[in-house]
Amino acid sequence: MAESRPLYIGPRLRRLRRELGLTQQAMADDLEISPSYVALLERNQRPVTADMLLRLARTYRLDMAQIAGDDGADYARRVSDVLRDPLFADIDLPSLEIADLAMSFPGVSEALLRLHGAYTRESQALAEQRASGPAAEENEPVREAQRFLGASRNYFHAIDLRAEELSGEIERSGGAAAWLGARGVRLRFLPPDVMVDSLRRFDRHNQQLLIDDTLSASSRAFQIATHIAHTAMRADIVAVVRAAAFAQPITATLVRRALAGYAAAAIVMPYGKFAQAAGARGYDIEALCGLFGTSFEQVAHRLTTLHRPGEERVPFFFLRVDEAGNVSKRLDGAGFPFAAHGGGCPLWSVHQVFRSPGEVRTQWLELPDGQRFFSIARTVVSGEGRHGRTKVTRAVALACAAEEAAKLVYVSGREAENAAVTPIGVTCRLCQRADCAARSVPPIGRDVLADDYRRAAQPYSFAES
């Protein structure tokens, strides 16, 4: 007869609780046990009983096999693999001690695994000499996801069509709350302390979609639409991700999240209605915000997606940066040659709008190769809604080709022909304009002129080629 061993699932139980957005007290109430017992289970100081497994599966609608996996054995195996690294070759590490560590101290085991994973990745990058140049980010998940979105011009036909259908269904149902209610899901708005640091959380046990009640109306609508996208459109999103066959699982996760956001925007701003309104209103972002109950950033983001065959609109490039110049989002539907590596040009107004928060600033841009673009930039703020919440101010910019600018409400009369343009570069390292006073580093391929007796107005003077 096989020996029956006690089952410890501490790390898995803690992970489940956090995924559900529950405190130990809330989980204890759901399972009708004490919070201290939940804490003991999570620390592997008590084994889980068959009755407790059944309660977990029934309460949170989970597969029993998914819960009952042996985390201790898995940690022991993974920790054992890590400790075979030559780095630890001179340390005596008996297998019994490793098993005891994994079973009794799962948090320490997880910390060890994370540290070794980070050490391994950095060692590999250094060995391949990728850490010192642009190639360092070539296979980085965020870059891989950005390349995928860029290659599609941020338009996904099947997802957009399905989202438009859903938008119609929701409208005919009388709104998102009624649509969700017809599917057995109750929509509730709760204060932040109840939400446990979540803006949106789905309570699977009680079939409730919980939304932070301090969010703005546009953010509430977007969070609700995102949940609908993750559930009603899951198959559509997964099909796109699987077809892409990404090199890294993390990339697939990032793209899946991006596509859910894309679908949410398409539900709130369905293609047909939005494209028609955008053209009729001259792409007036603030007017479109009022029409669709959305934020400035949401509308700007949606404007980059208007590439449906036969119903195309002005193609835009979208950029979001913080005050330090870090780029947190970049979407290209207009062929704007923004540098994937290195800083952007400080002469572009997207870096200057922080001086005039909330004000829309327009600018004509000319690249070194003569290409001209029209830019719209403004600050946006996240984190508003209640006292004490961290507010983050970023700048967003939309840019379109100069020949498309006349269709925009921001351009009047003959401005497109006579406007003063600002010469900018993709990045200083690639910009060969010798007379730029804003330059931070010399361009690639130019020798700095050695002249101890003359100081030019520009940071660098260059020898003749």
pLDDT beyond 70 at 438: yes
- Strands of the sheet containing 200-203, edge to edge, are 186-190, 208-212, 200-203
Average pLDDT (89-117) is 79
More confident residue, 122 or 134: 122
pLDDT beyond 80 at 264: yes
User: CB–CB of 58/31 below 8 Å?
Assistant: no
Q: Residue 17 — pLDDT band, cuts 50, 70, 90?
A: confident
**pLDDT tens string 322-343:** 998 888 888 876 667 665 544 5
Query: Can you give the pLDDT at residue 462?
Result: 67
Supply angle C-alpha 276, 256, 71, rounded to 5: 160
pLDDT beyond 70 at 256: yes
Query: Can you give the pLDDT at residue 70?
Result: 55
Q: Can you give the pTM of this predicted structure?
A: 0.75
Least confident of 10-14, 128-132, 344-348, 362-366: 128-132
Average pLDDT (121-134) is 54
CA-closest candidate to residue 197, choices 412, 386, 444, 458:
386
Compute the mean pLDDT over every residue in the chain, rounded to the nearest whole number.
84
Query: Can you give the pLDDT at residue 341?
Result: 46
Average pLDDT (217-230) is 96
Distances (CA, A) of 194 to 2, 191, 209, 371: 45, 6, 13, 52
Least confident of 78-87, 239-248, 321-330: 78-87
User: CB–CB of 285/218 below 8 Å?
Assistant: no
pLDDT beyond 80 at 249: yes
Instruction: Please state, in angstroms and rounded to a whole number, the distance separating the CA atoms of residues 343 and 430.
Output: 11
Average pLDDT (240-254) is 90
Query: Can you give the pLDDT at residue 431?
Result: 73
Strand ranges inside 131-236, DSSP E: 186-190, 200-203, 208-212
Instruction: Please state, in angstroms and rounded to a whole number, the distance separating the CA atoms of residues 271 and 163.
Output: 9
**pLDDT tens string 137-152:** 555 888 888 889 888 8
**pLDDT tens string 23-70:** 999 999 999 999 999 999 888 788 888 888 888 888 888 877 666 665
What is the CB-side half-sphere exposure of residue 335 using CA atoms within 13 A?
8
Query: Can you give the pLDDT at residue 367?
Result: 82
Average pLDDT (62-85) is 73
Kindly report the length of the chain.
Answer: 465
User: CB–CB of 153/332 below 8 Å?
Assistant: yes
Exposed e or buried b per residue across 423-440, where buried means at least 16 C-beta atoms within 10 angstroms of its C-beta? ebbbbbbebebeebeebe
**pLDDT tens string 301-314:** 999 999 999 999 99
With a pLDDT cut of 90, the percent of the chain lying above it is: 45
pLDDT beyond 70 at 413: no
Query: Can you give the pLDDT at residue 268?
Result: 98
Query: Can you give the pLDDT at residue 139?
Result: 56
Least confident of 161-170, 179-188, 329-338: 329-338
**pLDDT tens string 368-398:** 777 889 999 999 998 777 777 788 999 999 9
Q: Residue 135 — pLDDT band, cuts 50, 70, 90?
A: very low
More confident residue, 305 or 465: 305
Query: Can you give the pLDDT at residue 89?
Result: 75
Query: Can you give the pLDDT at residue 376?
Result: 96
pLDDT beyond 70 at 407: yes
pLDDT beyond 50 at 297: yes
More confident residue, 400 or 336: 400
Burial degree of 304 (CB within 10 A; 0-12, 13-18, 19+): buried
Average pLDDT (157-171) is 97
More confident residue, 430 or 150: 150
Query: Can you give the pLDDT at residue 207?
Result: 93
Instruction: Please state, in angstroms and rounded to a whole number, the distance separating the CA atoms of residues 289 and 222.
Output: 13
Average pLDDT (436-448) is 74
> Helices in 217-324 by DSSP H: which ranges?
217-232, 234-244, 249-268, 271-280, 285-292, 296-303
Instruction: Please state, in angstroms and rounded to a whole number, the distance separating the CA atoms of residues 353 and 319.
Output: 13
Query: Can you give the pLDDT at residue 342?
Result: 46
User: CB–CB of 374/365 below 8 Å?
Assistant: yes
CB-CB neighbours of 151 under 10 Å: 10
pLDDT beyond 50 at 136: no
Query: Can you give the pLDDT at residue 237?
Result: 96
Instruction: Please state, in angstroms and rounded to a whole number, the distance separating the CA atoms of residues 367 and 401.
Output: 11
